[in-house]
C-alpha cells in the first residue's frame, strides 16, 4: 500500500511517460499498488491543472490510483493541433480511473478571450454580447452547442457561466458579464446552465461576485464593503437563480466581502462556503475554488496552505491550475492535516463523496455523447447577423 509521498514518487518514476499526441494510447496496465484511503479521499478534493497535450506522469499516477478529483486543461491547444489530439489527452485522463466515475476534465470556455480551446472548437460570443442581444433562448442554444462540442472532446466540466453583475468599478469583468441588471444576468445564467448541462457540467462563478471590485484577484486580494442587504438584493441574485436552476458546481472567488467575513476571502471562508452557500442558498452540488495559485491567495499564505483552509471551510474541490508539483504538495498538506484532525477528516470524506457523485452523474450524462462536434454553421450565421 502506498501511504507516503516518497512511495508515490518512486512509483511515478517507474511509469512509462504518457504518450504524445498521435502516439498509441496506453495499454491496460497491471493493477497498481493500493493507496491509503485518506490519501485517496484528499486527492479527490483537489483538481490539478497543466499546460500542453501530454498528461504529466505525477498526475497520471494519481489518476491510476483514483486519488485526484480531476484535471484542468490550462493551455491544451496550439496552432496545428487537431481536435482528436485533445480527445486523446482527455481519454488518457478519464480512462485511468473508475469507468463509472471518471475524473473530471475541466476547462475555462466562457467565450471571447476566455477560451482555452480554440477553433475548430465552436467560437463562443462573449457574455456581454449575448446579454446585449437580450435573447436567453439564444444564450441557451449557444451554451448547448458549446457543451456538445466540449463533450465531443472529452471535457466534462466548463467553468462557466460568469454570474458577476457588471459595474463601472470593474472593467476587467465587463466583457465576461451578461449585464448590469441582476435579473438579466440571472436569466442568461439560467439559460447557459440549461444548455450546458444537456452534455457536460456548468459552473456559476465567481461567488459572491467580482462586479463591485477594483483590484484584480490575479494580482491582489480585492475587498468589497457593500452591506449585506445590498449584496443579497444584487450580487447574489444570479447565484440564487443558478442554484434554483440546478447548476452542478459553484466557484468561489478570491475576494473579501466584509458583510459576510471581514478577514478571509470567500474561497477560504466558512461564513461563505458553508453558512451562505449551503445554508442560505441551499446549494447541494460541488463547491470549487478559483485557482489557488492566483496572486490574491499568495497574500494569505499560498496555494498549499489555502487548500487545507478551503476544504476546512466547506469547499469540495481545490483548484491548483498551473503546477502539478504544487497540487501534489497541497494533497500532502491536506493528508497531514486530516490525519491529525477528525473534524477535517470528516469534511474531506463529505467533499470527496460529493465530487465522486458529480463524476458518476457526468459519466451517465456523457455516455451517449457523439465523438463528432455538432454542426453549428446555422447558429454561427445567426450570431453574425445579430451581433
C-beta of residue 180 within 8 angstroms of C-beta of residue 166:
yes
Nearest 5°: CA angle at 315, between 165 and 259?
50
Tell me the per-residue pLDDT of 61-103, one tens digit each, with 9 for 90 and over. 999 999 999 999 987 656 556 677 889 999 999 999 899 999 9
- 3-state SS, residue 93: helix
3-state secondary structure 203-262: EEEEECCCCCCCCCCCCCCCEECCCHHHHHHCCCHHHHHHHHCCCCEEEECCCEECCCCC
CA 160, CA 186: separation in Å to the nearest integer? 13
Active-site residue identified among 100, 218, 225, 230: 218
Quote the pTM value.
0.90
Element (H, E) at 296: helix 295-298
Burial class of residue 364, CB neighbours in 10 A (0-12, 13-18, 19+): exposed
Active-site residue identified among 290, 291, 316, 332: 290
**Domain residues of the chain, as ranges?**
45-386
Which pLDDT score, from 0 to 100, does residue 67 have? 97
Task: State which residues of the chain have pLDDT below 50.
Answer: 11-31
| Residue 175 DSSP code | G
Whole-number Cα distances in Å, 83 to 41, 58, 180, 379? 32, 24, 36, 20
Which pLDDT score, from 0 to 100, does residue 14 have? 38
The domain 45-386 is classified under which CATH number: 3.20.20.300, 3.40.50.300, 3.30.9.10, 3.40.50.1000?
A: 3.20.20.300
**Catalytic site residue 290?**
yes
The three cell numbers locating residue 362: 457526468
Which pLDDT score, from 0 to 100, does residue 31 have? 46
Amino acid at each position: 500500500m502506498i501511504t507516503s509521498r516518497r512511495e508515490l514518487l518512486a512509483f511515478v518514476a517507474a511509469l512509462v511517460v504518457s504518450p504524445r499526441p498521435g502516439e498509441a494510447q496506453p495499454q491496460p496496465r497491471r493493477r497498481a499498488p493500493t493507496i491509503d484511503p485518506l490519501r485517496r479521499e484528499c486527492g479527490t478534493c483537489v483538481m490539478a491543472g497543466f499546460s500542453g497535450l501530454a498528461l504529466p506522469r505525477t498526475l497520471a499516477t494519481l489518476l491510476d490510483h483514483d486519488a485526484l478529483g480531476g484535471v484542468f486543461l490550462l493551455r491544451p491547444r496550439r496552432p496545428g493541433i487537431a481536435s482528436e489530439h485533445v480527445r486523446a489527452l482527455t481519454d488518457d485522463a478519464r480512462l485511468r480511473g473508475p469507468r463509472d466515475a471518471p475524473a473530471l476534465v475541466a476547462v475555462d470556455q466562457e467565450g471571447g478571450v476566455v477560451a482555452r480551446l480554440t477553433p475548430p472548437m465552436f467560437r463562443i460570443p462573449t457574455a456581454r454580447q449575448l446579454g446585449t442581444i437580450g435573447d436567453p433562448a439564444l444564450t441557451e442554444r449557444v451554451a448547448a452547442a458549446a457543451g456538445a462540442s466540449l463533450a465531443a472532446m472529452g471535457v466534462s466540466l466548463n467553468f462557466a457561466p460568469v454570474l458577476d453583475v457588471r459595474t463601472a468599478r470593474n472593467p476587467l469583468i465587463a466583457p465576461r458579464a451578461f449585464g448590469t441588471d441582476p435579473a438579466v444576468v440571472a436569466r442568461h445564467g439560467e439559460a447557459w446552465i440549461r444548455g450546458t448541462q444537456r452534455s457536460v457540467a456548468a459552473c456559476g462563478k465567481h461567488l459572491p461576485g467580482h462586479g463591485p471590485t477594483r483590484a484584480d484577484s490575479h494580482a491582489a486580494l480585492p475587498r468589497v464593503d457593500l452591506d449585506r442587504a445590498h449584496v443579497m438584493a444584487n450580487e447574489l441574485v444570479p447565484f440564487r437563480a443558478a442554484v434554483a436552476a440546478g447548476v452542478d458546481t459553484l466557484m468561489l472567488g478570491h475576494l473579501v466581502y466584509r458583510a459576510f467575513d471581514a478577514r478571509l476571502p470567500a474561497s477560504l471562508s466558512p461564513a461563505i462556503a458553508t453558512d451562505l452557500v449551503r445554508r442560505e442558498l441551499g446549494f447541494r452540488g460541488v463547491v470549487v475554488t478559483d485557482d489557488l495559485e492566483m496572486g490574491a491567495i499568495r497574500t494569505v499564505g499560498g496555494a498549499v496552505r489555502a487548500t487545507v483552509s478551503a476544504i476546512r471551510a466547506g469547499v469540495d474541490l481545490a483548484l491548483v491550475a498551473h503546477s502539478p508539483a504544487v497540487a501534489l504538495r497541497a494533497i500532502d498538506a491536506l493528508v497531514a492535516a486530516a490525519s491529525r484532525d477528525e473534524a477535517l477528516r470528516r469534511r474531506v470524506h463529505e467533499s470527496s463523496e460529493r465530487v465522486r457523485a458529480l463524476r458518476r452523474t457526468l459519466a451517465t450524462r456523457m455516455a451517449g455523447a457523439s465523438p463528432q462536434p455538432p454542426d453549428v454553421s446555422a447558429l454561427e450565421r445567426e450570431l453574425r447577423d445579430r451581433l
